[in-house]
Amino acid sequence: MVIQLLLTAAVSGYAAAWLVQLAEFRSATDRERARSAILAGLAATLHVSGLLASWISYRTPPMVGVGPATATLALALVVGYFLASRRSERWSAGLLVLPLVVLMLSASLWAGLTPARPSAELRGPWLVGHILAVLGGYASLLLASVAAAMYLFQFRALKQKEFGNVFRFFPSLESLDRMNRVALAAGLSVLAVGLFVGWSLTLTFEREFSFADRDVSHGFLTWAAYAVALAARRPTDAFGPRAAVVSVAAFLTSGVTFLVFRSLGSSTEFFL
């Protein structure tokens, strides 16, 4: 009960922070980070407290099972957002990030926070490392797509010389370009490590590593989709609207693939 209350309060806090940013965007005022930052910080504190309460209650990290893993992924996205927002102008990325966090955390509450139980031989630090790397990779790649979507809005505003709400509230094209590049590189690297560790675990414990497994397929399809997005920046590493569209398409590919795989039924005993 305490876990649900903490995470429900966190959802409310993130939603409130988003509403503050939305009101500032609609009024076309200068960015005021303080109010939304306080609300988002309080929500993140409640979020962490809820996950810690889950860990203590169930005596296992909140990473195994759809509900716990989705809540942890939401926290990873929040952490990535805070890191990206060290440059104050990127705080406005919360206009897209915070609704994703609210959606994921709400979905985790709906799915249930009771963790699944992996087999005894796969418990331990390597499993935790594998899941953390995969979730961290997913979160970083989500931020890359957020930067790409904002880039497209800002590029359109500049091209049409519409110096209104989008121009005033969104980061510069250069800042969004860098955010996308760093998030793509970090996300692909970390996700690759997570997939490699998962592959090593299956070999160590003589389990079959099959692309028929929906968790495996989704992980590799996501990595491949975003690898294409990174390749779209080559050879000059220029971003531009076409590369931004590819990054957004990679997000849609990953999301639709996940929903399709989940609709086919439970995949494995692991975190997805």
* pTM of the predicted protein model: 0.87
Sign of the four-CA dihedral 164, 170, 172, 176? negative
Of the candidates 48, 59, 34, which has an alpha carbon nearest to the alpha carbon of residue 115? 59
Q: Which tens digits make up the pLDDT trace of 6-53?
A: 999 999 999 999 999 888 887 755 555 678 889 999 999 999 999 999
Q: Please name the amino acid found at residue 45.
A: T
Give the domain ranges of the chain: 1-117, 119-272
Cα 130 from Cα 30, distance rounded (Å): 42
Instruction: Name which residue leads in pLDDT, 204 or 164.
Output: 164
Q: Which tens digits make up the pLDDT trace of 184-197?
A: 999 999 999 888 88
245 band by pLDDT with thresholds 50, 70 and 90: very high
Span 198-223, average pLDDT: 68
129 band by pLDDT with thresholds 50, 70 and 90: confident
